[in-house]
Structure 1
């Protein structure tokens, strides 16, 4: 069996490795370190948690042990997709280089540019950065990449998911063609394969078997949950989550709770705190100082529940995590293995539980296909809520509206209905034209039979004439009247002076 002592590393590096408690390299380390020490480009295909960080940090320290960096011109560059991964690489570098005099700088967002500029101006041997912050420094004229001898791209598939591939191409173009490139990815998407073909020269390819199964030390389970109503699904899922935590009791010493969206991370964390649980969120939108404090508190045991997005699924190394709760079923099956791999580490027992709603059942099927086993079903600790029929809710919500319209018509009816008995035909006319028929009682009570009417009666006769026109259209007595006697409609609000003009014309 290969040991680190067989890899021709500098004795000072071997001493630091042994003090860290490692004697035997992992498969990715055993393949990548000799090739990197020989100066070849390396293409490593391996999942998170396989030890590839040491696979590129150790040969990098060995190659840089001699020499000195110039101001603003780093000698090596490590690119990581997230701040947490970059910070973890920096920690590994500190661990393995403590007997070698090398300097480093960590360029990540959420930290003052001024502090980072001071480190760069002094000259650094190893520059560990996220792509966005690195380009910010370069565009400000604070960083020159002409002296980079070793370039490492870590978690390239996550870079692709986060949209960093164009930035990676720009950074490659800024570095010398003669550099040595170490490229690591969990998968080989077409876009990543294109980059490796363009920027790597005859690389040594080391491929570790895909991590498709979780550790046997992890007990898995899933709750098939159906909400009572769709608009209550999120709140009821949070109730189930708290019930699962309570059911574990003292066995749940600490836990990571994974959500698919940043918004849900904040909501779940606030809900847990509101109900008395010691919880805090971590995701990409939080300030870096807050993320660092949260992670440090969780590692130290001061924080019991860490509510996280997939940022924490990769690169988060906390040995003693007792439980993992998947509040959401991950969209990618591989992410499920990454998530639950945060528990059951270093030979410890772990437990992973998941809540699956009907819309997530397809993703659950993909997970079971990947791990080649069925995730055991768990009973809902709160019992399954009864779902109302889909037709009942719309009727309940819409029923008040027609009732209000019916009452509105009913209130107007007494104002327009004559006191005398109304025939069916007249009742129909009242319903269709309530405002026209409202004048009928006045016309009946004071009929005007004279040819010379007083001015105060003009309005009444005008309305009577219009009623005659209405009967003419309906086929009544008005059919025998001449064309010039008809009143052209002006609506129900005919001005008096216009009505008077028609009366004068008729009298003439």
Structure 2
């Protein structure tokens, strides 16, 4: 099948041919005819299968008739990240060069002035992240009552980033008669409910099982120690073992992206960094350098895990096991795109085995180890030690467990040092617990006596710590005459009234009228 059989206009077919596309991908072959006809589409396909062209090409065909008015765009495309939005804008420039369409890119990190100018001239296509789009709506710079086509791209990523309430707000102000296209690589229950609310009898197109990896990607696991320095050394050795054209290294946290970037830079690797805290100019420059080959390695957070089209990525390394299993599918989807072969490896520490099992359950297959699978008993003991260590830190920074193995005791002492306790304190606790276990049992009477003594001591301590009851203030006593103590003064000799002390003003003679 070719693009000429999908119902596209001659202008669009010429643009596709000029771009070098010959055969549509499965998602394109099934989604484009439905989208051209005006029906809603719910598309599920692996990342890297050409979902962007699945909505750009039919949109170009339908936009050939009519023009947009000022601040009233005709189509809206929602993307979870700035990079994805910019990438879709580039696709419109490439495939829509035969069309005189105005495209407005509304993303954060860019001044409002340039965006307002495009909206004022009339934008046929608005490509936006939800936050910046709502900003323009609240400022009164944009009206959505003329939207003909709505595209929600990477819908599951919208869920992960907390954009679902924003999407619901946006959909409520859109015309009811619009066409809606949903595209995603995974379809969790929350996204399915959202699709049921805002799509009208959609055509469900599923060219691959949700959350499945491409068969062209070789996946491997490598054992690592849960120590930052040794884990970074394992990453460097993993990179040196392969002939890399370029590679993306994924970390769970932005802080770790910076640590890995500086470590690889110190060891002579050509590396760049990409995460959400960088401003838009830095992020764009880093991506452009990676695409052009100026940067060989890219240490990145999950901001680079969804939809970025960099076809020549040869390797993907997961420095951290992702928290959500679906993120693993998106990460390794940066390699092996468009039928190319790719390689993905992941460092796994003993505490990561539970998350690894969730990933393998999602993929419905086991991932091979490059250095032999770990002993299941050792992995279970490591997970138990990590859980107990976490409970000990929550109880106050010191573990209450007895009978630790030497390795576990050392790990426990390290946890105590991190939480503020010293190694000596941890050792003293272990010694005290051992001594308590080694004491012989006393007689019952002695145990009862000790129990009573402890109860009495606790009551005495509680009474001492309890704040004293506030007593009723005693009436102020009269001062005793000079030279006599108050305690030795007889009651009958106590002065009445002011006694011998009479103020001088009361001794003045009073003039009678």
CA, structure 1 residues 180+100, in 2 after alignment: closer, same or farther (shift >3 Å)?
same
Deviation per residue, 1:441-464 (Å, 9 max, x gap): xxxxxxxxxxxxxxxxxxxxxxxx
Q: Pick the aligned partner of 2:408 from 382, 390, 398.
A: 390
**Cα distance, 1:9 vs structure 2:** 0.8
CA–CA distance in 2 between the matches of 1:369 and 1:401? 39
2:295 to 296, 299, 303: 303
Q: Secondary structure of the equivalent of 1:264?
A: helix
Q: In 2 relative to 1, CA 361–68 (structure 1 residues): closer, same or farther, beyond 3 Å?
A: same
Q: Which residue of 2 aligns with 1:67?
A: 66
Q: Contact 2:41/2:205 (CA < 8 Å) preserved in 1? A: yes
Contact 2:48 2:338 in 1 (8 A): no
Unaligned runs of 5+ in 2: 373-404, 429-513
Provide the C-alpha distance between the structure 2 equivalents of 1:180 and 1:24, rounded to a whole number of angstroms.
Answer: 26
Q: Is the 8 A contact 2:152 2:183 kept in 1?
A: yes
Aligned CA RMSD, in angstroms, stands at: 2.4
Counterpart-to-counterpart distance in 2, 1:92 and 1:75: 18
Which deviates more from structure 2 when the two are superposed, residues 319-328 or residues 192-201? 192-201
Structure 2 contact 49–338 (Cα < 8 Å) conserved? no
Q: Is the 8 A contact 1:272 1:279 kept in 2?
A: yes
- TM-score normalised per structure 1: 0.72
Unmatched 5+ stretches in structure 1: 228-232, 381-386, 404-508
How far apart are the structure 2 equivalents of 1:268 and 1:29? 38
For the residue of structure 2 that corresponds to 1:219, the secondary structure is: strand
Q: Is 1:399 aligned with 2:398?
A: no
1:342 counterpart (310, 322, 334): 334
Kindly report which structure 2 residues correspond to 1:60-459, keeping only aligned pairs within 5 A, or say none.
60-210=59-209, 213-227=212-226, 233-248=227-242, 251-379=243-371, 389-392=407-410, 394=413, 397-399=422-424
Aligned to 1:363, what secondary structure does the other structure show?
helix
Is the contact between residue 48 and residue 337 of structure 2 (CA under 8 Å) also seen in structure 1? no
2 CA distance for matches of 1:345 and 1:45?
A: 16
The corresponding residue for 1:56 is 55
The structural deviation recorded for 1:84 is 1.3
Distance 2:208 2:214 in 1: 14
Please give the alpha-carbon distance, in whole angstroms, between the structure 1 residues aligned to 2:427 and 2:246: 55
Give 1:354 shift: 1.2
Deviation track 1:98-141 (CA, whole Å, cap 9, x = no partner) reads 11111101111111111111111111100000000000111111
Q: Is 1:30 matched with 2:48? A: no
- Alpha-carbon spacing, 1:15–1:166, altered in 2? closer, same or farther (3 Å): same
> SS at the partner of 1:100?
coil
In the alignment, is the contact (CA less than 8 A) between 1:28 and 1:44 conserved in 2? yes
| Matched residue, 1:496 | none
* SS in structure 2 at match of 1:102: coil
Secondary structure at the aligned position of 1:133 is classed as helix
Superimposed CA distance per residue, residues 342-369 of structure 1 (whole angstroms, 9 cap, x where no aligned partner): 2233454432221101111112222333
Structure index of larger Rg = 1
Q: 1:47: which partner in 2?
A: 46
Change in CA separation of 1:173 and 1:202 when aligned onto 2, cut-off 3 Å: same
3-state DSSP class of the match of 2:181?
strand
TM-score, L = length of structure 2: 0.71
Q: Shift of residue 161 of structure 1?
A: 1.1
Q: Is the 8 A contact 2:28 2:53 kept in 1?
A: yes
Please state whether the residue corresponding to 1:146 is helix, strand or coil: coil
The answer (yes or no) to whether the contact 2:185–2:210 under 8 Å persists in 1 is no
Q: Deviations over 1:438-497 (max 9, x none)?
A: xxxxxxxxxxxxxxxxxxxxxxxxxxxxxxxxxxxxxxxxxxxxxxxxxxxxxxxxxxxx
- 8 A Cα contact 1:211 1:337, kept in partner: no
Q: Deviations over 1:220-279 (max 9, x none)?
A: 32111234xxxxx1222111111222233xx12321101112221121112211222221
Q: Number of matched residues?
A: 390
Report the counterpart of residue 510 of structure 2 in structure 1. Answer: none
Task: Give the drift of 1:44.
Answer: 1.8
CA distance in 2, matches of 1:297, 1:143: 34
Shift of 1:215: 4.1
SS in 1 for 2:115: helix
d(CA) in 1 for partners of 2:407, 2:68: 71
